Amino acid sequence: MSRFAQVWRTSTVRLTATFIAIFIVFAILLMAFIGWQSSIQIQRQQAEDIDREVRQFQRIEANQGIRALAFAVGRLSSNPGPGIYFLGDASGLYLLGNVTDVPADVLIEPGVYTFDYERPDPLGAGPPGPDGASRPRGGIAVVRSIELDNGMRLVVGRDVVERRGYSAIILQSFLVGVVGIILFSLIAGGITARRVLRRIDTIQQTSTKIMSGNLSERVPVTRRNDEFDALATNLNAMLDRIEQLLQGLKEVTDNVAHDLKTPLTRLRNQAEAALRDTASQETRERALETVIGESDRLIQTFNALLMIARAEAGAPSGTLSEINVSSIVADVAELYGPLAEDEGIEVVSAVTGGVTLKANRELIGQAMVNLLENAIKYARPEDGSAGKILVELQRLGDLVRIVVADNGPGIPEADRKRVLERFVRLEKSRSEPGSGLGLALVNAVARLHGGNFEIVDNAPGVRAVLELPAS
């Protein structure tokens, strides 16, 4: 019973059952209408045939006399078929016809009547009676009775047994068809439900394994290319993404623990040194300066994390507005020019003027600051030659491309995507200043504005390419 309930709860089975019920009701109504219309049409046709023959008999009797009428009735009575004919005298006694016994009320009052009758089988094909002769054939007649001008009684009609037999055949065929439809629909629905449940069970089993901790499990994909395969493909892509995020979260947690543990330890040590009784006033002042410096670095780290989170959530500080990105890039490059010169690095700008786009001014500016600080930090060629940083901005169709390139040692190709993640630093000892959040923020800003950010080879050095939609 539970399995049946499970099958019935599936949308496929319930929709199939609904469509079957609708189809059966529609088929019943359609077949009933067809049968009813067919019966009415046959009945109308029989009534028209009766009226036509009555008018013909009346013309024969009026134009040719009673003998011609009797001849016509006798000829038609001898023909096999559904025709009913009776000709009697003024008192209603039988004279001619294929029906000898007509109810008295039919003969007394002209009109349309229905009654049971018997008539001899003209072909003698009926079942034999006790005397060996063929039994009269019975039936139901619809007739029209009239009184001729000379007072004689004429009854003309049709047998309706065949018409009712036709209606019965329609009803029987309809019932057989409905039963067949129901059986076929049940079989088809059962097969469909079984197939659907099998695919659903596969997904449930996979999800159960994943919830138990096996994140490498994936939903099987068949070659049918149906909606379940599309769903399985999307689920597998989602699981791949979740696995990557969890792995990244683990790395971020490890990196955060390492990056925060060191400055916090230094803060504690400096505070402890300042509290010693033997500490001089100068030592305490240096300790406080160190505490403030370490606190500022921690605040910068948390500010960067907060800014990344807000950018990834699509809720930057301030709304998107039309900004002159050329002036932002040029201003940041000019601001960091003297700092780069102090490090022996030349900053060259190639900024196309008047380029605008709809963006968040604060985030675009912070992204440029991070790119330049990162370039200044690593734009030192390994051969000891002078460092050089190129800042470019140009409009390419519907894109605005910002490039910050240097001629430093570069980034290995295998690590160019990894450095866009939070707290990823290629310097293994993590002794250099920095939190590993700069490029992650730039990547988040690119995604927020519907753009793209990537690190490519500059041979030597790297090219940080930020592309944003112009509209």
Residue 347 near residue 337 (C-beta atoms within 8 A) = yes
Predicted pLDDT of residue 80: 79
pLDDT attached to residue 215 = 76
Among the ranges given (195-204, 272-281, 401-410, 440-449), the one the predictor scored with the smallest mean pLDDT: 272-281
Q: b/e map of 74-98 (b: 16 or more CB within 10 Å)?
A: eebbeeeebbbbbbbeeeeeeebbb
Task: Give the residue with greater pLDDT, 261 vs 140.
Answer: 140
| Top-ranked range on mean pLDDT: pick from 31-40, 166-175, 383-392 | 383-392
Task: List, in order of start, the domains of the chain with CATH numbers.
Answer: 64-159 (3.30.450), 229-312 (1.10.287), 321-469 (3.30.565.10)
| Cα atoms in the Cβ-side hemisphere of radius 13 Å centred on 37 | 6
- Under the banding of pLDDT at 50, 70 and 90, the label for residue 287 is confident
Is residue 429 over pLDDT 50? Answer: no
Place of tokens 């016809």: 97
Instruction: Return the higher-pLDDT residue of 451 and 36.
Output: 451
Rounded Cα distance between 415 and 425, Å, is 10
pLDDT by residue (tens digit) across 199-226?
Answer: 778 888 888 888 887 778 888 888 878 7
Give the lowest-confidence range in 12-21, 244-253, 291-300, 456-465.
Answer: 244-253
CB 433 within 8 A of CB 301: no
Sign of CA dihedral 21, 26, 27, 29: positive
pLDDT of residue 383: 67
What pLDDT is stored for residue 181 in this prediction?
76
Each residue's pLDDT tens digit, 400-426? 999 999 888 888 877 777 777 766 666
CA distance 16 to 44: 41
pLDDT of residue 402: 92
* Both structure tokens of 388: 């050089």
Whether the CB-CB separation of 117 and 140 falls below 8 Å is answered with yes
Residue 361 has pLDDT above 50, yes or no: yes
Give the span between the Cα atoms of 182 and 188, in whole angstroms. 10
**Is the per-residue pLDDT at 155 higher than 60?**
yes
Q: How far is CA 117 from the centre of its chain?
A: 66
For residue 309, what pLDDT is reported?
A: 65
Higher pLDDT, 461 or 9: 461
pLDDT at position 45: 85
Which stretch of 134-143, 163-172, 303-312, 324-333 has the lowest confidence by average pLDDT?
Answer: 303-312
Residue 418: predicted pLDDT:
74
High-pLDDT (> 90) share of the chain, %? 5
Per-residue confidence at 436, pLDDT binned at 50, 70, 90? low
How many degrees, rounded to 5, is the angle at CA 359 between CA 358 and CA 364? 140
pLDDT in tens, 85-96: 999 888 888 888
Q: How does residue 430 score in pLDDT terms, banded at 50, 70 and 90?
A: very low
Instruction: Tell me what pLDDT residue 392 has.
Output: 92
- Rounded mean pLDDT, 116-127: 61
pLDDT band at 122 (very low <50, low <70, confident <90, very high): low
**What's the mean pLDDT when you consider all of the chain?**
79
* 79-83, 153-157, 247-251: segment of lowest average pLDDT: 247-251
Q: Which residues pair with 357 in a beta bridge?
A: 323
Percent of the chain with pLDDT over 70: 81
Reported as a single tens digit per residue, the pLDDT across 17-33 is 787 788 778 877 887 78
